[in-house]
Chains A and B, each alone.
Chain A
Amino acid sequence: MAEKPQPVRVLYCAVCSLPAEYCEFGPDLEKCKPWLIQNTPDLYPDLAEELNSREADKVGEQLQSTGISSPASSAPKAEEVKHLPGGKIKKKDKKEVVIEKVVRNKRKCITTVKGLELFGVKLSDASKKLGKKFATGASVVKGPTEKEQIDVQGDISYDIVEFITDTWPDVPETAIFFIEDGKKVPAV
């Protein structure tokens, strides 16, 4: 009879259950890393190094946040952070309807109306009403910023303010603006 072979003991990863040498092909090596470093540091010699360099990065970050690193790079960053949230909130708070005449070619133009939805107006409904009132085509389209707007064919910009305030009393005249020559001007 042949000699009894001793069973080989394979080191299985306690995290992903694979033989430790296969952790790199497992579902999530990141999760295995702490266990690997603890239990089989020789298998992935790069890991320990990586960890060390990451620790170094952390220290670097800390230095930066306490302002020890060059101020030129950290100062603008801080400013950005301060401005961004403030700006966003401002934009959100400002409810307005913006009307712009866009010239398609020499004789044809459309009037775009943005922001009615901010006053609880259903755009599809508004589009129908605008088309009826001005006897023209009107449609709800996605504008350049993915926000929906109403496109009305023809130049109706000067009659539209009255129509809006009459039809949707929730929209104050003071919240209506025109875009003229690239500048935003109040309708009243």
Chain B
Amino acid sequence: MFKKFSAEEVSAQNQVKASVQRKIRQSIADEYPGLEPVLDDLLPKKSPLIVAKCQNHLNLVLVNNVPLFFNIRDGPYMPTLRLLHQYPNIMKKLQVDRGAIKFVLSGANIMCPGLTSPGGSLDEEVGAETPVAIMAEGKQHALAIGFTKMSAKDIKAINKGIGVDNMHYLNDGLWKMERLE
């Protein structure tokens, strides 16, 4: 999604109304309960919350020009990798084997066998259509943010095809956009 993303694809940046700001804040808190204690630091009530509307129904949530979350249409908010790296435990984790790393980092979606092989690992609790952190065999930090196409149980049982959509990965356009002026 962010393979060729750049500031040029941002069509409008707007400070959202207080009511919208509360709504965004609430849905982030619901999706990531682990973030609640730091939510006041991340999204200070007094700082304006900016939503940048981009192509393909993508929205970026920015505070002080820093992209923190994104979503598509009214879908769930997902943290940027830079934010996830700071709070790695806010998302459920799926792990790909080492062989899958280079594919994930070129933007490919995550295939089931990369998660079920000995180098991979699955949190059985993960359901379908859930934002997840994509970890990698032998690595400490997440390399991508994914959105599951099937539940972890199905990934294991079906074990072929795309298990998780690759939403955002290291070195894609959003990664490179540390700030949006």
Contact = CB atoms under 8 A, between A and B. Distances in A.
Interface of A: 1-5, 7-10, 16-19, 21-22, 25-27
B171 A4 contact: no
Contacts of B118: none
Contact of A5 (B85, B87, B102, B143): B87
21 contacts: A2-B34, A3-B37, A4-B37, A7-B38, A8-B86, A9-B86, A10-B86, A17-B171, A18-B170, A19-B85, A19-B139, A19-B170, A21-B139, A21-B140, A21-B141, A22-B139, A22-B141, A22-B170, A25-B101, A25-B105, A26-B171
A2 B37 contact: yes
A2 B143 CA distance: 27
Given A10-B141, A19-B141, A25 B37 contact: no
Interface string B138-155: 011101000000000000
Interface residues of B, number: 20
Contacts of B37: 1-5
Interface in B57-99: 85-89
Interface of B: 34, 36-38, 85-89, 101-102, 105, 139-141, 143, 170-171, 175-176
Given A17-B171, A18-B171, A7 B176 contact: no
A69 to B, nearest CB: 40
Contacts of A21: 139-141
Contacts of A4: 37-38
Contacts of A9: 86
Contacts of B88: 8
Given A2-B37, A3-B37, A26-B171, 14 more contacts: A1-B36, A4-B37, A5-B34, A5-B37, A7-B86, A8-B88, A10-B141, A18-B171, A19-B139, A19-B170, A22-B139, A22-B170, A25-B105, A27-B171
Contacts of A26: 171
Contacts, number: 49
Nearest to B90: A5
Residue of A2, A3, A5, A21 with most partner-chain B CB within 10 A: A5
Nearest to A20: B141
Contacts of A3: 37
Contacts of B171: 16-18, 26-27
Nearest to A4: B37
A8 B34 contact: no
B87 A7 contact: yes
A97 B168 CA distance: 64
A25 B102 CA distance: 6
A1 B29 CA distance: 13
